[in-house]
Amino acid sequence: MKSTPWWREAVIYQIYPRSFYDSNGDGEGDLAGITSHLEYVRDLGVDAIWLSPFYTSPNKDGGYDVADPRDVDPRYGDLEDAKALIKRAHELELRVLADIVPNHFSDQHEWFKAALKSGRGSSERSRFHFYDAKPDGTPPNNWVSLFGGAAWTQVSDGQFYLHLFDSSQPDLNWENPEVNADFETTLRFWLDLGIDGFRIDVAHGLVKENIHVNHPDPEGLSDALRLDVEMDTDARNALLESVPYFDRQGVHEIYRKWRTLFDSYGARDVMAVAEAWVHPPVNATRYVRADELHQVFNFDLLTAPFHSGYLFEVINRSNQLNATVNALPTWALSNHDSPRVASRLGALESQALALFVFALPGSAYIFAGQELGLPDGELQDSDRQDPSFIRSKGAIKGRDGARVPLPWSGNSTPFGFTVGTPWLPINQSWQPLSVESQSRDSKSLLNLYRSAMALRTEHLTGAGEIEWLESPLHGSLREGLLVFKRGSVTIVMNLSEQILEVDYSGQVILQSAGDLENCDGKHIVPARSTVWILN
């Protein structure tokens, strides 16, 4: 019988290479810096790392504008550094996921340069979406970039090209078989170098339909469809459901082909996780059907309020929907595109929620720095580099706050991240949050994460489904307290402002706030905290 594949309930640690550790003093993190700190990652107790893009790139969108997907950008090192990183990770029993960006290339990719030179109607242009202007000279349709402004940019001979993101990120035409062939070459290239799987960027966006159709609601479109998670969720969902360039049936054919490629690596258990912003939620499960990808991100918790009824609904929904395709859910509280959870919900709340989701079935994603409780960095507008800030002329602050480098050690900024000037400033107030400060303090969040990972592996991985328990206090699941049992552990999250006393037999093995207290089978659960009780 085949054993459970490694990824099914893996904890995956997302590293934003530019912000992790700078090995050569230029102020930007790099691959050698990651390699030299992999023991820290291993000691956290995670199973794998996911590296945000480190490929050759002009870096207009944090490396998600790829100029050569089969090489390393000099700011991060070279291919030898990538090999060394993979080798060291494997020695430490960490798997490595790379980020693959199939929706678009950078305008500095040789294909796009050739497309500009070759002119209208050329095979070079057919790798992208080049169209003539409408008779009145305006763009082919009214689609809007997710970073603000029109999704079309005009080139010198009058044609326009499509870019759902920045104008430096021309969308690829997936109806051209050369595009898939090139991506399969890229997937094999990294797999042959030892990569264990992929995070697929904008996995829902590859296929565009009805390019000649204007969006019926251009007003709504221009206001609403932004990557920025601060936008109104209902408005975003309405658009995700209706735009002709997301979540088309054709994307699934691509992932079926890729699955065959992944499976050809056999016992290595190559896995892929889709970044798919889709609506309604049931659509996400299509990406993880048996012959497609292995995981799909669930973004509900990036925006969820700290509210018991809401969390109960979204967690249940994700468990149930994934079960219909025999997949397990994924959980993420932060990533490089969203405000950090400590800032969004608060310190106590984010710790309580972390312990709650680490006990759920499925895979948990941790964004580097989350284990330190980092808030969003305090930035001046002059520091900001996110294209959504630039394209919206400052109306959208963008995602740089979540991308501030990690504080490692010492008493003054930049806390060992670099001996130079960090590419984004690290606030002096982060001194108590550094890895060094928190390693010394047995009650730090970092040590709580380490304990949580170890106890998860010991008691929860593979423990099957959850069983919601009635709240003994309110007679309702949805009022201020959420309780479930999984395997031999009862997990209690107190979302209220009051200290609660609960009566579940067993020993408290972990809690997100306050001191462990057990008295006569009763347990004290501080306000806004989670406890794990071993039955």
The residues that are catalytic are 201, 275
**How far apart, in Å, are the Cα atoms of 428 and each of 422, 425, 433?**
13, 9, 10
**How far apart, in Å, are the Cα atoms of 362 and each of 11, 98, 132, 302?**
9, 20, 47, 17
Of the ranges 59-67, 356-364, 472-480, 502-510, which one interacts with ligand GLC (CB under 6 A)?
59-67
| Interface pattern 469-508 for ligand GLC (x via CB under 6 A) | ----------------------------------------
Q: Kindly state whether residue 202 participates in binding ligand GLC, applying the rule CB under 6 A.
A: yes
Angstrom distance (rounded) from CA 413 to CA 425: 8
* Candidate list 6, 8, 26, 323; residue touching Ca ion; CB under 5 A: 26
Q: Kindly state whether residue 531 participates in binding ligand GLC, applying the rule CB under 6 A.
A: no
Q: How far is the CB of 164 from ligand GLC (least distance, A)?
A: 8
* Residue placing its CB nearer to ligand GLC in the complex, 203 or 304: 203
How many C-beta atoms lie closer than 10 Å to residue 382's C-beta? 5
Q: How far is the CB of 147 from ligand GLC (least distance, A)?
A: 8
How many C-beta atoms lie closer than 10 Å to residue 281's C-beta? 16
Angstrom distance (rounded) from CA 150 to CA 166: 10
Of the ranges 57-65, 114-122, 409-417, 428-436, which one interacts with ligand GLC (CB under 6 A)?
57-65
Of the ranges 15-23, 52-60, 190-198, 391-399, which one interacts with Ca ion (CB under 5 A)?
15-23
Q: Side chain identity at 109, as an amino acid letter?
A: H
For residue 252 the two structure tokens come to: 């699934």
Quick check: 151 and 145 in contact, CB under 8 A? yes
Residue 358 contacts which entry, ligand GLC, Ca ion, none (Cβ below 5-8 A, type-dependent): none
Residue 9 contacts which entry, Ca ion, ligand GLC, none (Cβ below 5-8 A, type-dependent): none
For residue 40 the two structure tokens come to: 């820290």
Q: In this structure, are strands 95-100 and 48-51 parallel, antiparallel, or unpaired? A: parallel
Angstrom distance (rounded) from CA 287 to CA 198: 14
* Residue placing its CB nearer to Ca ion in the complex, 170 or 407: 407
* Residue placing its CB nearer to Ca ion in the complex, 15 or 531: 15
* Candidate list 337, 371, 376, 400; residue touching ligand GLC; CB under 6 A: 337
Quick check: 287 and 255 in contact, CB under 8 A? yes
Q: Kindly state whether residue 28 participates in binding Ca ion, applying the rule CB under 5 A.
A: yes
Q: How far is the CB of 459 from ligand GLC (least distance, A)?
A: 33
Q: How far is the CB of 225 from ligand GLC (least distance, A)?
A: 12
Residue 337 contacts which entry, ligand GLC, Ca ion, none (Cβ below 5-8 A, type-dependent): ligand GLC
Q: How far is the CB of 227 from ligand GLC (least distance, A)?
A: 6
HEC profile of 184-223: HHHHHHHHHHCCCEEEECCCCCCCCCCCCCCCCCHHHHHH
Query: Is the peptide bond preceding residue 414 cis, with omega within 30 degrees of 0?
Result: yes
R_g (Cα) of the chain, nearest Å: 23
Number of amino acids touching ligand GLC (CB under 6 A): 11
Beta bridge partners of 160: 131, 154
Footprint of ligand GLC on 91-120 (CB under 6 A): 101
Q: How far is the CB of 64 from ligand GLC (least distance, A)?
A: 3
Quick check: 402 and 376 in contact, CB under 8 A? yes
* Candidate list 7, 16, 21, 64; residue touching ligand GLC; CB under 6 A: 64
Residue 384 contacts which entry, Ca ion, ligand GLC, none (Cβ below 5-8 A, type-dependent): none
Beta bridge partners of 171: 104
Query: Is the peptide bond preceding residue 280 cis, with omega within 30 degrees of 0?
Result: yes
Angstrom distance (rounded) from CA 443 to CA 46: 20
How would you class 159 by CB atoms within 10 Å of its CB: exposed for 0-12, middle for 13-18, buried for 19 or more?
Answer: buried
Q: How far is the CB of 229 from ligand GLC (least distance, A)?
A: 11
How would you class 303 by CB atoms within 10 Å of its CB: exposed for 0-12, middle for 13-18, buried for 19 or more?
Answer: middle
* Candidate list 30, 61, 81, 371; residue touching ligand GLC; CB under 6 A: 61
Residue 30 contacts which entry, ligand GLC, Ca ion, none (Cβ below 5-8 A, type-dependent): Ca ion
Q: Kindly state whether residue 165 participates in binding ligand GLC, applying the rule CB under 6 A.
A: yes
Q: How far is the CB of 436 from ligand GLC (least distance, A)?
A: 29
Q: Kindly state whether residue 30 participates in binding Ca ion, applying the rule CB under 5 A.
A: yes
How many C-beta atoms lie closer than 10 Å to residue 142's C-beta? 17
| Interface pattern 53-92 for Ca ion (x via CB under 5 A) | ----------------------------------------
How many C-beta atoms lie closer than 10 Å to residue 148's C-beta? 20
Contacting positions for ligand GLC (CB under 6 A): 61-62, 64, 101, 165, 201-202, 227, 275, 336-337
